[in-house]
C-alpha cells in the first residue's frame, strides 16, 4: 500500500451562517459546527483511505468564541496520523466577517475514523509520511493521543485490568 503525504487528503469546506443555524442570541449552535467538522473530516479520511470511513470518536472540542449569524465558517481538515485501519483527522474552524475580512480561530478538534471494506469490516489504510517539521510534530502528537485512546479503551473494557 502506497504511503501518502498529509496534503493528499487536505479538505476545506465553508458555509455562511444563517438565522436557522443560531440560537436566540444569534450565536451558532455547537451542533452546527460539529456537523461541519464531521463532514469535512469524513471527506478527508475517505480521500486518504480511498474507502468508506466511519466516525469512531471526536476528541475534546472547546468553543473558544461564539460564531455569529452572517459569518462565514471554514473548516480545514488534514490526516495527522494513520494506524492500521484508523486515522486521526485534525480540524480547524475559522470564522470570518465577510464584510471586514476579520478572521478568528474559534475551534479545533481531532476526529478518529476507521476505513471499511465492501462488507463493512475495518480495512487497512495507507500510512502517512510527514515531511515538514510541522507535519512531523502533528504526527508525533497524534501518535501519543492514539496510544492514550487505546489505553483508555482497554481500561474501559476491563482488558487492561
Could you tell me which of 30, 20, 16, 13 has the C-alpha nearest to residue 66? 30
Res. 119: pLDDT tops 90: yes
Q: What is the pLDDT of residue 56?
A: 95
| Range 6-128: architecture per CATH | Roll (3.10)
Rounded CA-CA distance 71/95 in Å is 6
How far is residue 78 CA from its own chain's centroid?
7
Residue 158 has pLDDT above 70, yes or no: no
The residue-averaged pLDDT of 2-25 equals 96
User: What are the pLDDT digits (tens) for 54-64?
Assistant: 999 999 898 99
The three-state secondary structure class of 5 is coil
Provide the pLDDT for residue 159: 57
Q: Among 86, 89, 77, 90, which residue's Cα sits nearest to residue 127?
A: 86
Mean pLDDT of 26-38: 97
Amino acid at each position: 500500500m502506497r504511503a501518502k503525504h498529509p496534503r493528499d487528503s487536505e479538505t476545506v469546506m465553508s458555509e455562511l451562517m444563517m438565522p436557522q443555524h443560531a440560537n436566540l442570541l444569534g450565536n451558532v449552535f455547537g451542533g452546527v459546527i460539529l456537523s461541519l467538522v464531521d463532514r469535512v473530516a469524513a471527506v478527508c479520511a475517505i480521500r486518504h483511505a480511498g474507502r468508506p470511513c466511519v466516525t469512531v470518536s471526536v476528541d475534546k472540542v472547546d468553543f473558544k468564541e461564539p460564531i455569529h449569524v452572517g459569518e462565514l465558517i471554514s473548516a480545514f481538515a488534514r490526516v495527522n496520523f494513520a494506524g492500521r485501519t484508523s486515522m486521526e483527522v485534525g480540524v480547524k474552524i475559522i470564522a470570518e466577517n465577510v464584510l471586514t475580512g476579520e478572521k478568528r480561530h474559534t475551534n479545533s478538534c481531532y476526529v478518529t475514523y476507521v476505513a471499511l471494506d465492501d462488507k463493512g469490516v475495518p480495512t487497512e489504510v495507507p500510512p502517512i509520511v510527514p515531511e515538514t517539521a510541522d507535519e512531523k510534530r502533528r504526527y508525533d502528537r497524534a501518535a501519543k493521543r492514539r496510544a492514550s485512546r487505546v489505553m483508555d479503551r482497554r481500561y474501559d473494557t476491563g482488558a487492561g485490568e
